[in-house]
Chains A and B, each alone.
Chain A
Amino acid sequence: MAQVNTRERAAERQASRSPLERSRTDRMAAGVAGGIGRHLGVDSNIVRAGFIGLSFAVGFGVVVYLLTWLLAPLEAATAAATPHPRKVRTPTKSQMVGAGLVAVGLVILLWISGLWFGGDLGWPVVLAAIGFAILWARSTDDGSGRWTLSSLGTPLESVVTGEISLPRVAVGSLLILAGMAVFLAANTSLAAAGNMLLAVIVAIGGAALLAGPWVWSMGRALVEERSSRIRSDARAEMAAHLHDSVLQTLALIQRAKAPREMASLARTQERELRAWLYGRAPALAGVRLRDAIDSMAGRIERQHQVSVEAVVVGAAELDDRLRALVNACAEAVANAARHSGSTTISVYVEVEADTISAFVRDQGAGFDPDVVPSDRRGIADSIVGRIERRGGSAHVHSRPGAGTEVVIQLPTAAP
């Protein structure tokens, strides 16, 4: 445990180093060796050899392996899909010597403390570690970070892990208890005086193994929840502030007798800021009819310094036919902006079960449809033609002095 924690802290200190995550791609069992190898920048096979070597030391390697499996999260699926940029280093001579010295030191340490190949401690630890792993096998999902008992996907893991089940909990608990019992049985001869103390320590250790990860995960979930709440609070506060200050100012500029360009600029910025504040991604303009109409209105407001009031009722996903409708509306609005002299243009689009209707209206000069100037004829044709090719109809209603309205109707399904 201490080893892994130290390593994790080291990883935190060294931001440039890739985090310790179990590998999805480079894996024999749970991806632990692959992950450590990537984290340390050494070949994963060297790590595997290290684990096997350490396992001879009363199962020490097994314990470290299982602990790492439990503590290190599985890397994100997307990260696995792209080849990892980090290159595996081949260890230099001095690094090899260093690693060797560390290994020798470990062996000596274990030997001095009487643990080398000692069954008295080794088997109980191995039993307890396996029980621990069965109980608390880390979940596959990367998001929640909860300790759940779900399948991991490799053959070895699916034997150990699986659905949440009573047998599993029972087997895991039994193994931990067995480890405690074997340890106590083997060590009663140590020193009669120390027996009480030892029993207490073993009991505490067992309890920690049984419940520790749960406590750990609770703490982690709490921290995550708090930080996400702080983030959303900050965003809401900023939105409220922008709403109370900038949006109000933009509205004021539009009210004031400001030059037309300035009022139009203010309107555009208000539209954009509002879209951002209320969390609408600009990318959606290419997906939903409502957003497409809105962004069309914004574009023409910018180009022609008019105000376009767009109202959309009902919802529809954009397809070729609806794109034609949006383009025809854009033509009609631009047309009104150029010729009507009106400063406000209304756009109303309604999605019904069988028809989609669009109305573009201005209260400007109007014209006599029978005596149409040639330039407007062409535009009307482009609106009408575009819609009729898709099985719909478009009409222009206008009278001199009474404004103009373009009415477009398109059946929802292609003819």
Chain B
Amino acid sequence: MTVRVFVVDDHKLFRSGVRAELSRELEIVGDAGSVEEAVPGILASRPDVVLLDVHMSGGGGRTVIEAVHTARPEVRFLALSVSDAAEDVIGIIRAGARGYVTKSISAEELSSAVRRIHDGDAVFSPRLAGFVLDAFGGEAPQPLDPELDLLSRREREVLRYIARGYTYKEVAHELHISVKTVETHVSAVLRKLQLSNRYELTRWAADRRLV
């Protein structure tokens, strides 16, 4: 079964480029250049995965996720950006995206990221892993909910390897665990990132603006 993909980006050139690169392995069911086009387009074409530009005129990626999520909770989002500003990246993940990659990613990496998102896993680029380690770093003065507000030692280890440029497979090899276990850890981190109320998370992202 091929993965059905919808591309949302306000740059036509980028959309057609991605379409050309991915259509060999994945099925592109539609694209949109604005928030207003994207929401009805996604609802109508029922994609598995939406590639979503973080920044767009008319609200950006967050608006799309929020509008689609209530009607079609099964649609998964992978955020694409050139900005790398911490508050944008953390913001779109907290809105519901299951991964974040930069636009300079290679075609092969992009299509494997889409597949991984489709399988229900999270996609962490080294940069996102760094953001998360930084945001959850230091001593939380009083974690309201230790389940959500702190990373486990193992999760921290996995994120460190990802930040160092290791693929999931290489991380599994280094830690003598299965790739599936690595994916479980990363998904757990994603969930914490989305649900934690750790106040530093927001403040940290706003303070940093850019790495």
Contact = CB atoms under 8 A, between A and B. Distances in A.
B11 interface: yes
B82 A248 contact: yes
A348 B130 contact: yes
Interface string A246-267: 0110111011100000000001
A333 B127 CA distance: 18
Contacts of A254: 103-104
Contact of B130 (A248, A267, A311, A344): A311
Given A280-B210, A345-B165, 6 more contacts: A243-B83, A255-B104, A309-B165, A311-B211, A346-B126, A348-B130
A361 B130 contact: no
Contact of B104 (A244, A251, A314, A346): A251
A341 B89 CA distance: 31
A118 B181 CA distance: 98
Interface string B157-183: 000100111100000000000000000
A250 B102 CA distance: 12
Nearest to A346: B165
Interface residues of A, number: 34
A363 interface: yes
Contact of A311 (B17, B126, B137): B126
Contacts of B10: 244
Contacts of A279: 209
A363 B164 CA distance: 11
Interface string A342-367: 00111010100000000101010000
A312 B164 contact: no
B35 to A, nearest CB: 14
B126 A251 contact: no
Contacts of A304: none
A10 interface: no
B82 A247 contact: yes
Contacts, number: 82
Nearest to A266: B104
A278 B160 CA distance: 26
B164 A361 contact: yes
A312 B211 contact: yes
B183 to A, nearest CB: 20
Interface of A: 243-244, 247-248, 250-252, 254-256, 267, 270, 274-275, 278-280, 290, 294, 307, 309, 311-314, 344-346, 348, 350, 359, 361, 363, 405
Interface in B183-206: none
B46 to A, nearest CB: 28
Contact of B55 (A244, A311, A348, A363): A244
B88 to A, nearest CB: 10
B210 A348 contact: no
B82 A313 contact: no
Interface string B123-150: 0001101100110010000000000000
Contacts of B165: 309, 344-346, 348, 361, 363
A379 B77 CA distance: 44
A308 B127 CA distance: 12
B70 interface: no
A133 to B, nearest CB: 45
Contacts of A345: 165
A301 to B, nearest CB: 12
B127 A309 contact: yes
Contact of B17 (A256, A280, A348, A359): A256
B84 interface: yes
Contacts of A278: 85, 209-210
B164 A359 contact: yes
B13 interface: yes
B103 A251 contact: yes
A346 B127 CA distance: 10
Nearest to A352: B137
A344 B17 CA distance: 22
Given A280-B210, A348-B160, A348-B164, A313 B137 contact: yes
B82 A270 contact: yes
A34 B110 CA distance: 70
Contacts of A350: 133, 160, 163
Residue among B17, B57, B82 having the largest count of chain A Cβ atoms under 10 Å: B82
B149 to A, nearest CB: 18
Contact of B210 (A244, A255, A274, A344): A274
Given A251-B104, A255-B17, A313 B163 contact: yes
25 contacts: A248-B82, A251-B102, A251-B104, A252-B13, A252-B14, A255-B103, A255-B104, A256-B17, A267-B104, A275-B210, A290-B211, A311-B129, A312-B130, A313-B130, A313-B133, A313-B134, A314-B134, A314-B137, A344-B165, A348-B130, A348-B164, A359-B164, A361-B165, A361-B166, A363-B165
Interface string B14-38: 1001000000000000000000000
Residue picked from B57, B102, B133, B164, most chain A C-beta under 10 Å: B164
